[in-house]
């Protein structure tokens, strides 16, 4: 079937702060839509040959991410400032991008001990889109504005929009709305110069190039997005004191595996045996940071909590 791109589609504009952004550039011009010479005969290969081709292409992604580290660092700094002043990190995406965003946001509370409100994700199509394809919702700009408005996005927040193609109307509209509410906006894409890069204050472009299967951005582009989001959330939480040395001291021990992990962390940091660590964890109300501080200072739970609060929960900052 031949894809038609009308002149009205090429010239359609979305308004942003004083500028017009083309919502739908010609698809064939996007790097992620180009055929990849390395996989031109992939359908003629045996299974091992197919897997080898995919793996070789995936192996190029870390280098592409490395080139974007300065912009990723800028994003982290904005997130740290936002959360310190009571703001939130809000991811926005559609399709694969949205699912990656939801996964990263969902993992922050149990890993770092932050509230679900601190790191959130908005996906086009809502909960249904987590398990089913809802492609039409990617074009719904009005719903994007409604979804952001319902979360009362404002000046203290950072909104990160993910779109491998860089042209998803839902995500671009969400970023534009966030900017109109004076939130800091960040774009993550794999297409240099795409519309989303002009809709955000900070643009993280990971140029992963053509996919093994042309246009299938659930492959390299998605891998890059996953890496970048893990970098942003993890680095931000480290800066905010939710990691001590390289231990996840903000972990919430809500099941047997996590209770054992919390005990192991206390043992490793404090140099005590398993029995003593389990007792310390119980005395601290299953708060790993508090247990470590109580062991290091000899303070009771109330006094240790006051000291921890004084240093905003950052063990490293306590003299």
Please identify every residue annotated as catalytic.
Answer: 107, 138
Give the C-alpha separation, 318 to 239, whole Å.
14
Please name which of 280, 271, 222, 267 lies closest in space to residue 100, comparing C-alpha atoms.
222
Query: Which strands form 119-123's sheet, in the order they lie side by side?
Result: 119-123, 89-93, 158-162, 184-189, 202-205
The answer to whether 247 and 265 are in contact (CB under 8 A) is: yes
Angle between helices 95-112 and 220-239 (to 10 degrees): 30
Residue 133, Cβ density class (10 Å: 0-12 exposed, 13-18 middle, ≥19 buried): exposed
The answer to whether 161 and 174 are in contact (CB under 8 A) is: yes
Please name which of 275, 276, 274, 313 lies closest in space to residue 293, comparing C-alpha atoms.
313
Q: Are strands 19-22 and 13-16 parallel, antiparallel or unpaired?
A: antiparallel
Give the C-alpha separation, 183 to 157, whole Å.
5
Contacts of 158 (CB under 8 A, 6+ apart): 75, 78, 79, 82, 87, 88, 89, 90, 183, 184, 185, 186
Residue reference for tokens 């109307």: 169
Give the C-alpha separation, 319 to 317, whole Å.
6
């Amino acid at each position: 079937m031949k894809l038609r791109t009308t002149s009205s589609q090429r010239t359609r504009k979305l308004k942003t702060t004083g500028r017009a952004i083309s919502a739908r550039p010609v698809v064939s011009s996007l790097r992620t839509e180009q055929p990849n010479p390395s996989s031109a005969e992939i359908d003629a290969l045996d299974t091992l040959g197919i897997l080898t081709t995919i793996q070789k292409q995936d192996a190029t992604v870390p280098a592409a991410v490395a080139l974007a580290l300065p912009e990723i660092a800028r994003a982290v700094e904005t997130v740290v400032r936002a959360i310190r002043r009571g703001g939130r990190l809000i991811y926005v995406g559609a399709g694969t991008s949205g699912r990656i965003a939801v996964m990263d946001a969902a993992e922050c509370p149990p890993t770092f001990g932050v509230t679900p409100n601190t790191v959130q994700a908005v996906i086009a199509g809502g909960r249904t889109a987590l398990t089913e394809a809802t492609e039409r919702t990617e074009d719904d700009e009005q719903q994007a504005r409604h979804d952001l408005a319902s979360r009362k996005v404002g000046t203290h927040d950072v909104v990160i929009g993910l779109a491998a193609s860089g042209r998803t109307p839902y995500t671009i509209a969400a970023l534009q709305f966030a900017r109109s509410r004076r939130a800091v906006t960040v774009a993550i894409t794999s297409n240099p110069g795409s519309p989303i890069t002009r809709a955000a204050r900070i643009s993280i472009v990971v140029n992963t190039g053509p996919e093994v299967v042309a246009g299938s951005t659930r492959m390299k582009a998605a891998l890059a997005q996953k890496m970048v989001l893990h970098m942003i959330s993890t680095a931000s939480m480290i800066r905010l004191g939710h990691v001590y040395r390289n231990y996840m001291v903000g972990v919430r021990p809500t099941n047997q595996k996590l209770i054992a992990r919390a005990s192991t962390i206390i043992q490793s940091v404090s140099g005590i045996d398993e029995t003593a660590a389990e007792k310390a964890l119980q005395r601290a109300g299953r708060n790993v940071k508090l247990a470590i501080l109580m062991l290091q200072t000899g303070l009771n739970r109330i006094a240790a909590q006051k000291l921890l609060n004084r240093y905003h929960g950052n063990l490293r900052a306590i003299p």
